[in-house]
Amino acid sequence: MDAPAVYEQLVGQSQAVEVLTRAASAAAQMIDGSGPGTSMTHSWLFVGPPGSGRSTAARAFAQALQCQFGGCGTCPDCHTVKVGTHTDVHVVAPEGLSISVKEMREIVRVAAFQPSGRRWQIVIIEDADRLTEGASNALLKAIEEPSPHTVFLLCAPTTHEDDVSVTVRSRCRVVSLGTPPADAVAHVLINRDGIDPEIAQWAALAAQGHIGRAKRLATDPNARKRRQTVLSVPLRLVSMAGCLQAADELVAAAEDEAKQISESLDAPEKEALSQSLGAGGTGKGAGTAARGMAGQIKELERRQKTRATRVQRDSLDRALVDLTGFYRDVLLLQVGAEVALAHEDHREQAAEVADLVSQAWVLRTLDRLVATRTSLEENVKPRVALAALTTALRLPAR
């Protein structure tokens, strides 16, 4: 069976696509009364590592459910779901660090409405692992007793209870996505984005299966420069001073990236908000309006600040993923595995480290990298976490 067109963006996930295709066609039969489809799963949980396409899968499934052709990719339903203007599809994507209970209650309220089309009222929650406890409880109530036309599509890194509460998880049908193979990622970069095959192949490997990251590496010189800085770190960790300096540089690079991204987003948002609030006005009630406006601007600034923190944290996490790939390469060289390295262009450096340390040292290092990523997620100050990491990764004197 050929997969519906909407799943084209979903790279290397044929198993998940099959499950979703079957579910959508059963759902359509149920609505048309044309076949044996009798029940619909109202809550789905899409899990997979970053870049595997969790939210892409959820959106494609939403398209397939709303499309009268099962996900053609071109009809008005498919199109409006894709661009985010479909009246019966609601996307919750936190800009800050978490999804609040207020936000969730509102979305649950809307989700209970009759769909305006003939099909479903769909709620996509892009980062279900960022629900506050209150929001998670509000959601649980909705998925325990869903209205007959409502479908919840949740996305999270794993089914672990740190990401999704056990009770929410138990109500969902899980769709697992894997890390797509480098060849499949390269294929997309070449065919979808028109990227030169040689660069695409390199970027796909370097991004370790993360499609968005692969595209950035292939197209953005700043992203390549940052990666270069990160991968120069391991061999520089030879003295205490060197370790602390490397930690500082990694944090500074993340701060820079966050600043760059924030600056490009913040000012236009603020401008748009003041315009929509109609800055100025002297008539009756202008005082009250001005006070309300100040409140809204303050709220926007608060959200922009949490977003900046998030961007900085994501940027550091990416650096740690790159380093993890590097030390995994070191291990591969030590055991003499004949496979492509994640950072093939840093093979020499990896070989140099491989000569200096034992396999046990590398395994400890990989554990430490995982622990550091976790502690950053738990709000440990980046400078503290990174300094602890780099000093632990100090190389023995040669």
Residues engaged in binding Zn ion (CB under 5 A)? 67, 69, 72, 75, 78
* Least distance CB 362 / Zn ion (angstroms): 49
**How many secondary structure helices (H) and strands (E) does the chain include?**
16, 5
CB-based contacts of 262, cutoff 8 Å, min separation 6: 304, 307, 308, 311
Helices 359-377 and 382-392 cross at an angle (nearest 10°) of 180
- Closer to Zn ion by Cβ: residue 72 or 351: 72
Q: Which is nearer to Zn ion, 6 or 104 (CB)?
A: 6
What's the CA gap between 332 and 317, in Å, rounded? 22
Angle formed at CA 139 by CA 137 and CA 145, multiple of 5 degrees: 105
User: 72 or 184: whose CB is closer to Zn ion?
Assistant: 72
Residue 322: name the closest of 339, 350, 343 by CA. Answer: 343
CB of 28 to Zn ion, least distance (A): 11
Shortest Å distance, C-beta 380 to Zn ion: 46
Output 56 or 136, the one with its CB closest to Zn ion: 56
| Residue 356 CB coordination number (10 Å) | 15
Smallest distance from Zn ion to CB 5, Å: 8
Query: Which lies closer to Zn ion via its Cβ, residue 66 or residue 390?
Result: 66
Q: Smaller CB distance to Zn ion: residue 8 or 266?
A: 8
Residue placing its CB nearer to Zn ion in the complex, 75 or 293? 75
Distance CA 164, CA 103 (A): 18
User: In the complex, what is the shortest distance from the CB of residue 359 to Zn ion, in angstroms, rounded to a whole number?
Assistant: 52
Residues 6, 323: Cα–Cα separation, whole Å? 34
Report the nearest approach of Zn ion to the CB of residue 4 (Å). 8
Distance from C-alpha of 126 to C-alpha of 123, rounded to nearest angstrom: 10
- CB of 17 vs Zn ion, minimal distance in Å: 16
Q: Which is nearer to Zn ion, 58 or 78 (CB)?
A: 78
Q: How far is the CB of 225 from Zn ion (least distance, A)?
A: 41
What is the phi-psi region of residue 387: left when phi exceeds 0, alpha when psi lies from -120 to 50, beta otherwise?
Answer: alpha
3-state secondary structure of 6: helix
| Cβ-based neighbours of 355, under 8 Å, separated by 6 or more | none
Nearer to Zn ion among residue 69 and residue 361 (C-beta): 69
Least spacing, CB of residue 67 vs Zn ion, in Å: 3
Return the residue nearest Zn ion (CB atom): 67
**Torsion from C-alpha of 385, 387, 390, 393, nearest 10 degrees:** -80
Q: Give the DSSP per-residue string, 277-309.
A: TTS---STTHHHHHHHHHHHHHHHHHHHHHHHH
